[in-house]
Homo-oligomer: A and B are copies of this chain.
Amino acid sequence: MVKVRAPHPDHTVKKILKGPPLSKDPRPLSKKEIRQENEKLILVAAEKVFAEAGFGGATMQLIADLAGLPKANLHYYFPTKEALYRQVVQNIFQIWLQAADVFDAASGPAEGIGAYIDAKMEISRRHPAGSKVWASEVMHRAPVIQDYLETTLVDWTTGRMKLIQHWIDTGRMDPVDPRHLLYMLWATTQHYADFGHQIETLNGAKPLSDEQWKGAKTCIKRIILKGIGVSEADFADL
């Protein structure tokens, strides 16, 4: 069999990532600004490439091209591919955790869980690449952020479970296992980012419109809130 070159399944990546590189700020910059600017540029590009190709499939050259910088320059700011990847994952984790704020500020399940769904759906919409990188990292057994999972994530989850249990104990929702409820919230919301391509394909190869995103949020909130026994009056204002 004549084979020119096995086309990577990632071959599409190169196409997708083509186009004009990320635009630099054209103003004359100070040293401090240059550093900030370039690190940002690299991180944004890296997030995209890691999301599309996975850690193993991503190449420093691809990231460099997308960032509009020479490859050697990446290694000036980030010593290794892994260090760069680590930074990307950590940034995402921060965003992920921030969505919890709305949860805590709430007075009850309808408001708390409703707002959390909204927040996480918004992340899926605005940061699909980040969500994919996170998913990929976890799927591969969290080689670089296992320590975060064991500390920060465990703490976060424990706290939220207590809150939900409190809502249950005070009769504001059905007695469901808070753990599985949380998993359900994560799964459902992140699905719209991680499996966005599938959803897009099933939507006639079009990204979801504003209305469709709104519809998704409403539908998810309605099913889950009703499913855990929150009185319908409490979330009629969707």
Contact = CB atoms under 8 A, between A and B. Distances in A.
Contacts of A11: 143
B187 A153 contact: no
Contacts of A179: 202
A57 interface: yes
Contacts of A215: 177, 180
Given A56-B57, A157-B202, A6 B219 contact: no
A42 B111 CA distance: 51
A104 B146 CA distance: 41
Contacts of A57: 54-57, 140
A136 B136 contact: yes
A110 B25 CA distance: 57
A217 to B, nearest CB: 9
A201 to B, nearest CB: 5
Contacts of A53: 56, 140
A135 to B, nearest CB: 7
Interface in A178-200: 179-181, 183-184, 186-188, 190-192, 194-195, 197-199
A159 interface: no
Interface stretch (A31-39, A66-74, A164-172, A223-231): A223-231
Contacts of A142: 197-198, 201
A57 B139 CA distance: 13
A13 B142 CA distance: 11
Nearest to A80: B6
A198 B153 contact: yes
A13 B176 contact: no
A132 interface: yes
Given A135-B195, A154-B202, A227-B223, A12 B141 contact: yes
Given A6-B81, A54-B54, 11 more contacts: A56-B58, A136-B136, A139-B195, A141-B197, A142-B197, A154-B202, A174-B226, A183-B188, A224-B227, A227-B227, A227-B228
